[in-house]
Amino acid sequence: MTTPPPIAMLAELTHRCPLSCPYCSNPVALHGKETELATETWADAFVQAADLGVLQLHLSGGEPASRPDLVDLTRAAHEAGLYTNLITSGIGLTPKRLDALEAAGLDHIQLSLQGTTPELADRIGGYKGGFERKMMVAEEIRKRGLPLTLNAVMHRHNLDDLDRTIDMAVELGARRLEVACVQFHGWATLNRAALLPTREQTEATKRKVAEAEARLRGTLAFDFVPPDYYADYPKACMGGWGTAGLNISPDGKVLPCHAAETIPHLTFDNIRDTPLRDIWYDSPAFNAYRGTDFLPDTCQSCDRVEVDFGGCRCQALAIAGDAAATDPVCRRSPDHGRVDRLLSEAMAEADSATFTYRVIPRP
């Protein structure tokens, strides 16, 4: 297979964040401020990414607004010719900063929504007053006409609020709503019992999204990520390993996906030491699971192998203990019974489960 150039890059500018959501996709071992890349190193990485063929840059975290140089980084990405998307909780964005980001060439904002009421949102985000501040930022974004996607991370505690979530997306002037059911990587794995929705919630969500999609066509577009554990087949995670996108962690490690560091036998090159082009095309980590040759017979003989590429490598490792296995979410996987067991264990513990909020260690 010829390796295509990447289309998208996620720059995790920092792991710092005023919120501490229990489903955060950041690794459980968070990096402190002292390990973060300097402004010029990021700017150089953006130029390298554009040269490599990347079109879209997602400025993410943690909370990217925790970086004082966010405007400079946005300008550098814009000048490199990248389409820039800021993935933010909104906390740390002021009207003045939004003006500066717009002037620096910011193309799009993806605003997270933890819940539809202050009580729920602040409890999920672990940050009192966060909801009110987010609503003020959303209004400032709306006033400026900046293209907005609302990213609602959904789980057991807020899925019943989906109708209100959809109404809020319309009221806030969002063009797109991501109904993103929690994926069990990073901190979410520590909170599986507290976060896993019920099968009934999942079925109701599918119906509501389909109904709203038809009703709001032309007003609001939907991206729906259903809960993996109730699916028959896995998603094509990252559009295939080392195929469509890459991530850079706050300390400069170049990763095929946000959870790749959970695969212990892989080592990842750092943008401080190695050109991005060499990492993308030649590094053992990016080549480890490219294509489909590494997959077992279950996938090799399956008509969906070029659709989902056997699913998620990190999930295969986490549940089946082998990153090269068929994703156990697949009903054809010999390990599918493990997903059913995880589901029943989580449901048995759900009522007594409390949140483990993410925390960043002090240096």
Judged by DSSP in three states, 300 sits in: helix
Q: Which of residues 243-272 bind ligand FES (CB under 6 A)?
A: 257, 259-260
Residue 136 binding result from ligand SF4, ligand FES, none, given CB thresholds of 5 to 8 Å by partner type: none
The nearest distance, CB 239 to ligand SF4, in angstroms, is: 14
Q: Count of CB atoms within 10 A of residue 51's CB? A: 14
Contacts (Cβ under 8 Å, ≥6 apart) of 348:
none
Does position 237 interact with ligand FES (CB under 6 A)? The reply is yes
308 binds, options ligand FES, ligand SF4, none, Cβ within 5 to 8 A by partner type: ligand SF4
Q: Is there a contact between 346 and 277 (Cβ–Cβ < 8 Å)?
A: no
Three-state DSSP at 351 gives helix
Q: Does 134 bind ligand FES (CB under 6 A)?
A: no
Closer residue to ligand FES (CB): 169 or 295? 295
Query: Which option in ligand SF4, ligand FES, none does residue 332 bind, with CB closer than 5 to 8 A by kind?
Result: ligand SF4
- The nearest distance, CB 323 to ligand SF4, in angstroms, is 14
Contacts for 162 with CB less than 8 Å, ≥ 6 apart: 154, 179, 204, 205, 208, 209
In the complex with ligand FES, the residue whose CB is nearer, 155 or 313, is 313
Tell me the closest approach of the beta carbon of residue 327 to ligand FES, in angstroms: 8
* 347 burial type by CB count under 10 A (0-12 exposed, 13-18 middle, 19+ buried): middle
Q: For ligand FES, which stretch binds (CB under 6 A), given 83-91, 97-105, 273-281, 310-318?
A: 310-318
Binding-site residues for [4Fe-4S] cluster sit at 17, 21, 24
Q: Segment 159-188, which members bind ligand FES (CB under 6 A)?
A: 185
Radius of gyration of the chain (CA): 20
Binding residues: 17, 21, 24
Q: Is 72 helix (H, G, I), strand (E, B) or coil?
A: helix
Q: Tell me: does residue 329 bind ligand FES (CB under 6 A).
A: no
- Interaction partner, residue 257 (ligand FES, ligand SF4, none; CB < 5-8 Å by kind): ligand FES
For the chain, the first-to-last Cα distance in angstroms comes to: 44
Residue 362 CB: number of other CB atoms within 10 A? 5
Q: Does 24 bind ligand FES (CB under 6 A)?
A: no
326 binds, among ligand FES, ligand SF4, none (CB under 5 to 8 A by kind): ligand SF4
Helices (H), the chain: 39-52, 70-79, 95-103, 118-125, 130-144, 162-171, 187-190, 192-195, 199-215, 276-282, 284-287, 297-300, 305-308, 313-315, 336-349
Whole-number minimum distance, CB 104 to ligand FES, in Å? 31
Q: Which of 38, 33, 126 is nearest to 361 (CA)?
A: 33
Phi then psi for residue 56, to 5 deg, are -115, 135
Tell me whether residue 92 or residue 227 sits nearer to ligand FES (CB atom): 227
Q: Kindly state the smallest distance separating residue 330's Cβ from ligand SF4, in Å.
A: 3
Report the alpha-carbon distance of residue 233 to residue 322 in Å, rounded.
18
Residue type at 198? Answer: T
- When CB distances are held under 5 to 8 angstroms depending on the partner's kind, the choice from ligand FES, ligand SF4, none that residue 233 binds is ligand SF4
Tokens of 157: 């505690």
Binding-site partner at residue 313 among ligand FES, ligand SF4, none, CB < 5 to 8 Å by type: ligand FES
Determine which residue in the list 238, 299, 319, 329 makes contact with ligand FES, applying CB under 6 A.
238
Question: Can you give the binding site for ligand SF4, defined by CB under 6 A?
Answer: 233-234, 298-299, 302, 304-305, 308, 310-311, 326-327, 330, 332
If one asks whether residue 358 binds ligand FES (CB under 6 A), the answer comes out as: no
Point out which residues bind ligand FES (CB under 6 A): 185, 237-238, 241, 257, 259-260, 312-314
